[in-house]
Amino acid sequence: MMLGKAAAQAIVGTERVRKVEQLLSKGNSTGKEALAGLQKLAVGDLTGAAGLLKGATSALSLAGDLSPKVGMITRNFDVIKGATSSVLSMAAGSNLPLVGAAGQALQGALKDAQAKFGAMIGLPGDAVDAVAQLAGVKKLSFGIDSAGRGTPHLMTMTANNGESFHFNLSTAAFDKLKRATRYKVASQERLNRQEAQQAVSQGGETITLTGVIFPRFGNGMQQLETLRRIGDKMDPVLLTTGYGKVMGRWYLHGIEEEQDGLLHDGAPRKQSFSLEFGRYGEDRKNV
């Protein structure tokens, strides 16, 4: 759905703005050209999110009965609202006028979308949150914390196209998370002395999730296939924890599956799985 893509794009832009803010606050030695490039990418993401949001607003007017979609639409609105608020706050604090202008444009597109959505369901734009309450959806804030208030989630994985996978007891719950951060340090031999150490670069990060799925208890056997389908697209995904921490974007490196307790028809009673993610460079352009 275009609205989901707009929300995903807004989150990506927010993460890039946060990276720019961190580099500026630390007085990082990153070159001005690289920093300007990262800021340009962030502005492009926010501008793209505003365009997608406008397109989604037009699409909603042709969608017919929106009652079954109220919860989903409101979730995406709240994600975009939270992202916009974060962007405007960071832009003001770090003196980033271009980012601030892009954030204001996204904010304007959001207000217009909420007003039109409210008109479609017979309520003013500022009453959309009340509609979400009636639909059984609590007001959502930025990050996976938003998704977790209705059904608790361990983590949410969001693709560039807006598709999300929630890790929880109803899908694929993991019971162990391993995160490794590496730094590349080169050794230089010296005559009659100990080796000298020289920092070269940040070596990257990996996250490994391990867990178990019991298909016969309502999870079904398609959870890992859904993850494989997302991985097949070979695009970075956004990971956000159940307590609201946005971990940034990662590539899904691999999925391992082991089936145990096979029934007479070959269906497993238990599926053990392991997922490995590698950190995606936030300054990369091929998103």
85: enclosing H helix or E strand: helix 70-94
pLDDT of residue 227: 93
The predicted-structure confidence for 47-72, as pLDDT tens digits, reads as follows 998 998 888 878 776 666 666 567 67
Q: Which residues contact 52 (CB under 8 A, 6 or more apart)?
A: 2, 3, 5, 6, 9
Contacts of 150 (CB under 8 A, 6+ apart): 136, 137, 138
pTM of the model: 0.55
pLDDT at 1: 63
According to the model, what pLDDT value does residue 148 have? 37
Rounded distance between C-alpha atoms, residue 143 and residue 21, angstroms: 19
- 217 close to 270: Cβ distance less than 8 angstroms: no
Q: List domains and CATH numbers for the chain.
A: 2-142 (no CATH), 173-279 (2.40.30.200)
Determine contact, residues 245/231, Cβ cutoff 8 Å: no
Q: What is the pLDDT of residue 207?
A: 96
Backbone φ, ψ for residue 238 (5° rounding): -95, 130
Q: Which residues of the chain, if any, have pLDDT below 70?
A: 1, 26-31, 61-69, 71, 121-151, 217-219, 282-287
* The predicted structure's pLDDT at residue 272: 92
Strand, coil or helix: 25:
helix
DSSP string, 179-240: EEEEEEEEEEEETTEEEEEEEEEEEEEEEEEEEEE-GGGTT-S-HHHHHHHHHHT---EEEE
